[in-house]
């Protein structure tokens, strides 16, 4: 499997300890920078009110070590013994983060989208963006 980097996410968080545990719709302004090669894919995005941001939580670890996932399960016991699939923890088999947030501003020419309250490190790799839909009938 091969993933392409679509862009980079700019947040105020320089370390994992600084990151919030969850997205915050009233959190700090964050900037998504789309690589020039993918800027044409932003066409039509100005019609979308909210986006699903898909990103790689690579700042948490360099390889998917199963013991780290198990450790989070132990930590999860504080929340009733839940596993990583029921938490927003970065310690998972594939450290993929997903956030659905309203678009604050969009500049397709510069390849920039601004949202509030992402829960990832500055410089996080952007994997994809999709329009956020809550029911199939609400797409565009």
Go through the domains of the chain in sequence order and give each one's CATH number.
Answer: 7-60+95-134 (2.40.30.70)
CB 20 within 8 A of CB 27: yes
Chain mean position to CA 100: 8
The pLDDT value recorded for residue 116 is 95
In angstroms, the CA 19 to CA 74 distance is 21
Q: DSSP code of 1? A: -
**Is the model's pLDDT at 28 over the cut of 80?**
yes
- Structure confidence by residue, pLDDT tens digits, 116-137: 999 999 999 999 999 998 776 5
Pairing, β 96-102 against β 29-34 = unpaired
**φ, ψ of residue 69 in degrees (nearest 5):** -65, -45
pTM: 0.81
Lowest-pLDDT range of 37-41, 60-64, 99-103: 60-64
**How many angstroms separate the Cα of 57 from the Cα of each of 63, 114, 128, 139?**
11, 19, 13, 27
In angstroms, the CA 84 to CA 92 distance is 6
């Amino acid at each position: 499997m091969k993933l392409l980097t679509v862009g980079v996410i700019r947040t105020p968080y320089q370390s994992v300890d600084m990151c919030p545990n969850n997205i915050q719709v009233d959190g700090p302004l964050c900037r998504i920078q789309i690589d020039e090669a993918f800027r044409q894919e932003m066409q039509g995005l100005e019609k979308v009110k909210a986006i699903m941001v898909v990103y790689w939580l690579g700042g948490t670890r360099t390889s998917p070590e199963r013991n780290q996932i198990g450790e989070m399960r132990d930590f999860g016991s504080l929340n009733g013994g839940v596993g990583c699939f029921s938490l927003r923890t970065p310690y998972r088999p594939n450290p993929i983060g997903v956030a659905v947030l309203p678009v604050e501003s969009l500049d397709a020419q510069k390849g920039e989208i601004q949202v509030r309250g992402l829960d990832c490190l500055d410089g996080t790799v952007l994997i994809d963006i999709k329009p956020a839909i809550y029911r199939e009938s609400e797409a565009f």
